[in-house]
Structure 1
Amino acid sequence: MKVTVWNEFRHEKQDEEVRAVYPDGIHEAIAGFLKEAGFEAGTATLDEPEHGLTEEVLKNTDVLVWWGHMAHGEVSDAIVERVHARVLEGMGLIVLHSGHFSKIFKKLMGTSCDLKWREAGENERLWVVQPNHPIAEGIGETIELEHEEMYGEHFDIPVPDELVFVSWFKGGEVFRSGCVFNRGQGKIFYFRPGHETFPTYYHADVQRVIKNAVNYVAPTKREQPIRGNVQPLESLD
């Protein structure tokens, strides 16, 4: 299983508070626990040529993990089209936290993907609402995060094909925080936690969810569907 973890890698360079939490970048923290789990995990960042997502890299990526926040607009439309095409071909995509506003997620959803938000460091409780789902395997009834940024409804996304987690925040808001979507041959999982100033990606349950999700959205071995003009299977005489 080949996984590419993409990150803007801007906050960690510009903000000492973020750098203290993720000194090598959020992408390296995520790739690190994926490697420990046995995945072949590489990284790519915004300021690399072609944002690190060359045709060769994407061709050899089974699952792409995406984290972005402050530089969504700097992502090349050509690279977005390239990633979009690969998802439709069957590459899995995991979009984390503020990646909800990324160009690729909005293109795949076809909506604004807007929401309520608040930075108050309040606790978040993620409820498992589909306990038999493979992404929730090994997770108890809830995931408890001591400090997180709040996201609240209404979250302007299409109705998810599968809803795995719903979050509650101390301030009272709720949020659809673990959503699966099918697009073409590909599967997409949006997972809400992961604000850059909190050590969320070191949390064992958060790591477990992401590892489960990699397995779940990975491409199937099925051949691409046949499309276009075809000859009849049966005689038309």
Structure 2
Amino acid sequence: MIDLAVLDMAGTTIDDGGAVYDALRSAVEETGVRVAPDDLQKWMGTDKKQAIEALIRLGGGAPTASSVAAAYGSFVELLRTAYDTRPPSALPGVENALAVLRDRGVRIALTTGFGSEVAGPLLDSLGWSTAPGSLLDAVVTADEVASGRPAPYMIHRAMERTGVLDVRQVLVAGDTTVDLEAGTHAGAGTVVGVLTGKLGRSALEAAPHTYVLDSVADLPGLPETS
């Protein structure tokens, strides 16, 4: 039986219309480099400051602390504008699935490559919180750990915050390969790829995983959560 489900945010539990992809690409290209689609996909799900630095370098640029900071500031503003224009929403069936899991005694944590200055307002706009009786038990952002995905630290921090001791009783789900790599690095007993993001089944199945599902909405049907 799973004690804790650790889930990614944008593309996994939240539909943001692809705003993260567009904002990240635009912010990096403002530095004068071109972002290749494959490079962008490779760095989705990671800490966004690390992603910006890597994408500038992959585009032939020479990232500096100041250029990365400026690009990250642009990313945050572009994302806020996009979210104001098209507010994010829960992906279909996700809220019901999380409620079912919580009724079965599974704790729910969200992790993200966003910093807290992006994740907090995003969750507020959805009405999701960690207050008693709310949908979530914990939220861990990339700026709270030494390194974001594919490192395991956000998952382990979620375990710490929810009091879960056995990583074999943790389920990790996400829509990118780095989500699956982070779950594997953490030692999670169940690692699930979901098809609600940009990647297709073959790409997710090429990464370490236990299942590839259509959506987080399908998690209550897994034997580990029943």
TM-score normalised over the length of structure 1: 0.35
Structure number, greater radius of gyration: 1
**Which structure ranks higher in relative contact order (CA pairs < 8 Å, sequence separation ≥ 6)?**
2
TM-score normalised over the length of structure 2: 0.36
User: Which one has the bigger strand percentage?
Assistant: 1
